[in-house]
Chains A and B, each alone.
Chain A
């Protein structure tokens, strides 16, 4: 007879697989395997009419580093990369600057208003992303009130009129607009948990409002800041629809180049190389942020100051 303990021990393990199995299978099927296919594609030769050339040519394996060589030898791609990082960084910083006071306001408001304000933050998700981007096209349009007001003021100072649409300005504004909720929500979730007694204690110990923010609230909100930054920075780094619709030719970002490689130039291996570099860059920057976060939490500035 089988000892009872074994069946009792296996049962939870079966349950665990039932729970974790489907999502694991999903990730394997739709993330891990496609990623591996992409890595393989990056070493292959583009086909004559797009797609990929056969893997076996005249009995030998056709794998090469041509696309990687191209990426590192033509500086234009590194420049576009740098520009994309720059746009993503600017988006993250603007989102942080706008979201922090908003999240703090929501966290501080009473129960009734809090839910309403949160609803307003996520309300834009109810309409399609592309529709919202096209809406900005109308707002920035040359005959819209915004452009006419801006150019009216400029003319008053004797300045040439400027186009708002198809500009870096339009791209950045829309990037910030689209990503703002992703910064507000984690910040709110963090700030909402803060203990008022800590602020009272800080005030009692002589800290004014500014010192209370910088020494207590802000350091304690850093996990929320990092979560929001990651949620904004990573998608903003790979975005292509917004520069496509609202940007000029100068505003092409890495996402646009990747899309171009697959849909227009039909150079799949090179597109794969760009995608891989983008993924690695995002992972690297996220890892760097995590390290900074841990270092920051490990030795707060107050302690350094106390030791000095």
Chain B
């Protein structure tokens, strides 16, 4: 059994269901992320884990014990708030000491524990400062140190990096990964930022409208999105829909209007005539000026309709003769050359049968 079990948890506000029958098992030592657009119920779920809110249905178990009767102050979990929620009238030391004092830690041990916590979050020498004397990143570290000082079983983080600028956020992401490895505490992390979720997590639950759409490792979430929502929400994705034309020998052909027949390798059996949707990441598409020398599984012609130069990569939108737009991504690996094609260039697109996969509708 997992360390933290969320079983069929539901929360309604009036006739609006914010969290809809969610079941998740989170293992000890895991960096687990709840990912989803704003308003999908992430905070509501996190607050029910922390005990600030109670589910209308379902249970939250920690080490097999139902937490229903326990108020937040008696749950061995700590929450890091998006606003940091540092006590403005206490110094950094006072803030970090607070949970120790609440836990009736002997005064003789408090000093050493504060020092250790401040070292963990690299804030040695800041103990005497007040929160208003700290930068955003430093406040964030104090909030982390304060939450970790009593070594909780689970740390809950609600979009902790959302208020930081991009550069600092990346730095803090690396620190969070290291910190989690170092302290070995289970992290339940909430974010709406898919790159952050992919970078940090061992596993991700993608949420939409109060439900979990997919729960998987980051590479699975990215490489094999199971639903249209996940494919769309996590990075860019081409979605081709059409009726199944042929099926057999682990190969399914879908007749995509405005593009042509698309072949995909799959184990699932799809009866001909049945509608299907294929997800294909832009970077899986090869685009060339001339027809490929080999005979690729899927091969189409088009012209570059528009392009987006992003520095490391360029995104090309290729229009097919049938009027479909296909997005392809090319790394600008040759220095000094911004892009390979210009708008209006005729190009040849190709990809293998392994590149795409079917999603549920």
Q: Which residues of A contact B (CB under 8 A)?
A: 195, 197-198, 200-208, 211, 215-216, 219-220, 297, 300, 302-303, 305-308
Contact sample, A vs B, 24 pairs, CB 8 Å cutoff: A197-B83, A197-B85, A198-B88, A201-B79, A201-B85, A204-B50, A204-B77, A204-B78, A205-B98, A205-B102, A205-B146, A206-B99, A207-B73, A207-B102, A216-B87, A297-B89, A300-B90, A300-B94, A302-B87, A302-B98, A303-B90, A303-B91, A306-B110, A307-B111
Are the CB atoms of B87 and A202 closer together than 8 Å? yes
Residues on B with C-beta less than 8 A from A215 are: 87, 98
A206-B73, A206-B102, A207-B73 given; A302·B94 CB < 8 A: yes
Q: Which residue of B lies closest to A308 (CB)?
A: B107
Are the CB atoms of A302 and B101 closer together than 8 Å? yes
Instruction: Tell me, rounded to whole Å, the shortest Cβ–Cβ distance linking A58 to chain B.
Output: 65
Q: Which residue of B lies closest to A302 (CB)?
A: B94
Q: Which of A203, A206, A219 neighbours the largest number of chain B CB atoms within 10 Å of its CB?
A: A206
Are the CB atoms of B85 and A195 closer together than 8 Å? yes
Residues on B with C-beta less than 8 A from A308 are: 107
Instruction: Tell me, rounded to whole Å, the shortest Cβ–Cβ distance linking A125 to chain B.
Output: 33
**A216→B85 CA distance, assembly (Å):** 11
A197-B83, A207-B73, A220-B89 given; A306·B102 CB < 8 A: no
Instruction: Tell me, rounded to whole Å, the shortest Cβ–Cβ distance linking B80 to chain A.
Output: 9
Are the CB atoms of B71 and A203 closer together than 8 Å? yes
Instruction: Tell me, rounded to whole Å, the shortest Cβ–Cβ distance linking A209 to chain B.
Output: 9
Does B18 make an interface contact (CB < 8 A)? no
Residues on A with C-beta less than 8 A from B88 are: 198, 220
Are the CB atoms of A204 and B79 closer together than 8 Å? yes
Contact string against A for B residues 66-97, beta-carbon threshold 8 Å, 1 for contact and 0 otherwise: 00000111100111010101111111011011
Are the CB atoms of A201 and B89 closer together than 8 Å? no
Instruction: Tell me, rounded to whole Å, the shortest Cβ–Cβ distance linking A253 to chain B.
Output: 37
**A216→B99 CA distance, assembly (Å):** 13
Of B50, B71, B83, B97, the residue contacting A306 (CB under 8 A) is B97
Instruction: Tell me, rounded to whole Å, the shortest Cβ–Cβ distance linking B56 to chain A.
Output: 20
Are the CB atoms of B90 and A208 closer together than 8 Å? no
Does B144 make an interface contact (CB < 8 A)? no
The secondary-structure label for the interface of chain A is helix
Residues on B with C-beta less than 8 A from A208 are: 73
Residues on A with C-beta less than 8 A from B78 are: 204-205
Residues on A with C-beta less than 8 A from B97 are: 302-303, 305-306
Instruction: Tell me, rounded to whole Å, the shortest Cβ–Cβ distance linking B340 to chain A.
Output: 51
Instruction: Tell me, rounded to whole Å, the shortest Cβ–Cβ distance linking A104 to chain B.
Output: 18
**A202→B71 CA distance, assembly (Å):** 12
Are the CB atoms of A204 and B73 closer together than 8 Å? yes
Residues on B with C-beta less than 8 A from A220 are: 88-89
**A61→B75 CA distance, assembly (Å):** 81
Residues on A with C-beta less than 8 A from B91 are: 300, 303, 306
Q: Which residue of B lies closest to A211 (CB)?
A: B102
Does B166 make an interface contact (CB < 8 A)? no
Are the CB atoms of A303 and B93 closer together than 8 Å? yes
Q: Which residue of B lies closest to A215 (CB)?
A: B98
A215-B98, A302-B101 given; A197·B81 CB < 8 A: yes
Residues on B with C-beta less than 8 A from A204 are: 50, 52, 72-73, 77-79
Instruction: Tell me, rounded to whole Å, the shortest Cβ–Cβ distance linking A300 to chain B.
Output: 5
**A300→B78 CA distance, assembly (Å):** 24
Instruction: Tell me, rounded to whole Å, the shortest Cβ–Cβ distance linking A169 to chain B.
Output: 38
Instruction: Tell me, rounded to whole Å, the shortest Cβ–Cβ distance linking B130 to chain A.
Output: 10
A203-B72, A206-B102 given; A306·B89 CB < 8 A: no
Does B310 make an interface contact (CB < 8 A)? no
Q: Which of A202, A216, A219, A306 neighbours the largest number of chain B CB atoms within 10 Å of its CB?
A: A306
Residues on B with C-beta less than 8 A from A303 are: 90-91, 93-94, 97
Of B85, B96, B98, the residue contacting A200 (CB under 8 A) is B85
Does B103 make an interface contact (CB < 8 A)? yes
Q: Which residue of A lies closest to B78 (CB)?
A: A204
Residues on A with C-beta less than 8 A from B93 are: 303, 306-307
Are the CB atoms of B81 and A201 closer together than 8 Å? yes
Are the CB atoms of A202 and B94 closer together than 8 Å? no
Does B234 make an interface contact (CB < 8 A)? no
Q: Which of B72, B74, B96, B98 neighbours the largest number of chain A CB atoms within 10 Å of its CB?
A: B98
Instruction: Tell me, rounded to whole Å, the shortest Cβ–Cβ distance linking B136 to chain A.
Output: 16
Residues on B with C-beta less than 8 A from A202 are: 87, 98
